[in-house]
Amino acid sequence: MAVIENNVGAYPVSPHANRGGLKAGQNRIGLLLLLPAATGFCAIILYPFLSALGLSLFEYTVEMMEPRFIGLENFAKIAADPDVWAAFWTTAIYVVLSTTGTLIAGLGWALIMNQPFAGRGVLRSLSLLPWVLPATVSAFIWGWIFNSRYGVLNAFLMELGLIDYPQAWLSTPEGAMLAVVLTKVWLSIPLFMSFFLAGLQNLDKEQIDAARVDGAGNWAVLRDHILPHLRPVLMIVVVLGVIGNLQQFDTIYALTGGGPVRATTVLSVEVYRRAFEQWDIGFASAVGVLWVAALLPPAFLYLRMLVKGN
């Protein structure tokens, strides 16, 4: 999904939530104002969600006029289907690599962008760019870099003497995974950086100056002051990163189509293929239910942060 991941549901409820508000007796108007959005929400988000969960209990393929109730049979089929298990495993690898990669690069870049130097403002603005590009465009850029015949990556590595002949990156399982992970890391760095930079704004500078007077070096300042200070932000970023990466579809589909064979078929691609290429709606929904189950732990953590922040 495009880059501003659905991630952006990042904020805990505002501290103003319980204070203020207009006087009682106006509530009917309040509900009336909520009505249009609530209708849209129920019709386009809530109903489809519940309906998809329900469809997991039905057999519903392209030849059928009406779905037929089959209980848990779809799940039994999934349990016996190595392809679905493989998709879970692939998703786990993708999520761990992308989230870790973005975390390291995003934190590093935020620390660098927090240091005053000439040209920093321009760099900071420019580094937000990968975030706003259409998913197809990001996939094109990285597809071209990884191109087997004319790709700049091969040229680089050959120039450095690391490989002897051009590699067909996107045709090997590892190469394709590397490409989809790098693409995701690249386009998520801006979001992570923005969170970290916001967190760095209220760092206690006097405390750091005091530590420096006591002889602390850069490494000690980072380890004892900056990183502990960023801990809450780090938690939010990791949870949101995991949620976003678990759902990532567009760049993977555009870059590798889930291939070669099934090497980059993560859950989102698996569900899409089962539903809209094989038209096995019931089975796709059942995989979707397990997908939602995988999202529950990070979603729970996220909700807890929301409520705590309240």
58 binds other proteins (CB under 8 A): no
Question: 98 vs 268, which CB is nearer to other proteins?
Answer: 268
Dump the DSSP string for 182-251.
HHHHHHHHHHHHHHHHHHHHT--HHHHHHHHHTT--HHHHIIIIIHHHHHHHHHHHHHHHHHHHHH--HH
Instruction: Report the residue from 58, 94, 169, 186 that binds other proteins according to the rule CB under 8 A.
Output: 186
Site for other proteins in 228-267 (CB under 8 A): 232-233, 236, 243, 246-247, 249-250, 253-254
212 binds other proteins (CB under 8 A): yes
Q: Which stretch binds other proteins (CB under 8 A): 27-35, 76-84, 86-94, 167-175?
A: 27-35
49 binds other proteins (CB under 8 A): yes
H helices of 116-166, where? 120-126, 129-132, 135-145, 152-159
Helix (H, G, I), strand (E, B) or coil at 111: helix
DSSP 58: E
**Site mask, other proteins, residues 190-209, x = CB under 8 A?**
-x--xx--xxxxxx----x-
Report 81-140 residues binding other proteins (CB under 8 A).
Answer: 105, 108-109, 111-112, 114-115, 123, 125-130, 132-137, 139-140
Look up residue 61 and give its DSSP letter.
B
Q: Closest separation between CB of residue 78 and other proteins, Å?
A: 15
Contact between 29 and other proteins by CB under 8 A: the answer reads yes
Backbone angles phi, psi at 58, to 5 degrees: -120, 155
